[in-house]
């Protein structure tokens, strides 16, 4: 975690700017700005940075590690009942129970064993988090996510075999490729599977993602600064 002290005024200004740009990108695409949710990615940043964002009115946050989120979030949740916490990093099956307990949304469902484990935990714990399937749109061997060709069958298996409600899709495009191709691919996979939520776009490309239909953009650095 960064040990640089958070600058609350800068975080508030950055949030305002990111929100302004999201709204502008939505309007330019003929979309309602309210249809895009900003997920503020606070991974690697401490409680002071989170507190500054909460003070600026931000309520939806993303974390990529279960343990880091467990250390950071319970205290904030006690003070703010309306916080919505998204898991955006890879989830190991042995952390599934903790993730179901802590997160409102798990964006990284990407394999049958995890689907089975989540189904088991969701049956034991209530309420259930909303689930997005992560798609490895660039087919990168080292990256998490189901491949585009396997996505339809995996979504069907989640629904039919594991009885999981799938709310949407998430992707992280390859760094060195034009992101719009990946955003368009994710949107096509979502459309043919009847899914409305599209979590795509980060600090470098969230405006492009909004143009391609993102309902959730995950922005860290542009709000909180470097990690």
Ligand X SMILES: *Cc1c(COP(=O)(O)O)cnc(C)c1O
Q: Is 37 one of the binding residues for ligand X (CB under 6 A)?
A: no
Q: Is 203 one of the binding residues for ligand X (CB under 6 A)?
A: yes
Contact yes or no for 135/170 (Cβ under 8 A):
yes
- CB atoms under 10 Å from CB of 94, counted, come to 9
Q: With residue 217 as reference, give the H or E element that holds it.
A: strand 216-219
Contact yes or no for 224/218 (Cβ under 8 A):
no
- Write the DSSP symbol of residue 139: -
Beta bridge partners of 198: 169
The only residue of 19, 43, 86, 117 in contact with ligand X, by rule CB under 6 A: 43
Q: Is 167 one of the binding residues for ligand X (CB under 6 A)?
A: no
- 122 versus 222: smaller Cβ distance to ligand X: 222
- CB atoms under 10 Å from CB of 191, counted, come to 12
x/- mask, ligand X, residues 44-83, rule CB under 6 A, reads: --------------------x-------------------
Q: With residue 152 as reference, give the H or E element that holds it.
A: helix 148-160
Q: Is 168 one of the binding residues for ligand X (CB under 6 A)?
A: no
Tokens (6 digits) for 124: 């034991």
Q: Pick the stretch among 22-30, 92-100, 154-162, 216-224 that binds ligand X (CB under 6 A).
A: 216-224
Output the smallest distance, CB 222 to ligand X, in A: 6
Q: Pick the stretch among 53-61, 66-74, 145-153, 219-227 that binds ligand X (CB under 6 A).
A: 219-227
Interface ranges with ligand X (CB under 6 A):
41, 43, 64, 88-89, 172, 202-203, 218-222
């Amino acid at each position: 975690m960064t040990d640089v002290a958070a600058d609350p005024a800068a975080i508030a200004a950055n949030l305002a700017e990111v929100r302004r740009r999201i709204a502008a990108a939505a309007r330019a695409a003929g979309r309602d700005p309210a249809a895009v949710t900003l997920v503020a990615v606070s991974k690697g940043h401490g409680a002071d940075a989170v507190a500054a964002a909460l003070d600026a009115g931000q309520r939806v946050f993303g974390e990529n590690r279960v343990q880091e989120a467990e250390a950071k979030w319970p205290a904030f949740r006690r003070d703010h009942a309306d916080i919505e916490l998204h898991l955006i990093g890879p989830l190991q099956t042995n952390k599934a129970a903790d993730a179901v307990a802590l997160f409102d949304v798990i964006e990284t469902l990407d394999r049958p064993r995890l689907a089975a484990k989540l189904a088991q935990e969701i049956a034991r714990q209530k309420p259930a988090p909303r689930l997005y399937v992560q798609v490895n749109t660039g087919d990168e061997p080292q990256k998490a996510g189901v491949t585009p060709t396997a996505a339809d069958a995996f979504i069907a298996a989640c629904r039919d075999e594991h009885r999981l409600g799938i709310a949407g899709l998430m992707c992280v495009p390859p760094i060195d490729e034009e992101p719009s191709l990946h955003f368009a691919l994710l949107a096509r996979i979502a459309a043919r599977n009847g899914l409305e939520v599209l979590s795509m776009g980060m600090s470098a490309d969230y405006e492009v993602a909004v143009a391609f239909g993102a309902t959730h953009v995950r922005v860290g650095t542009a709000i909180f600064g470097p990690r």
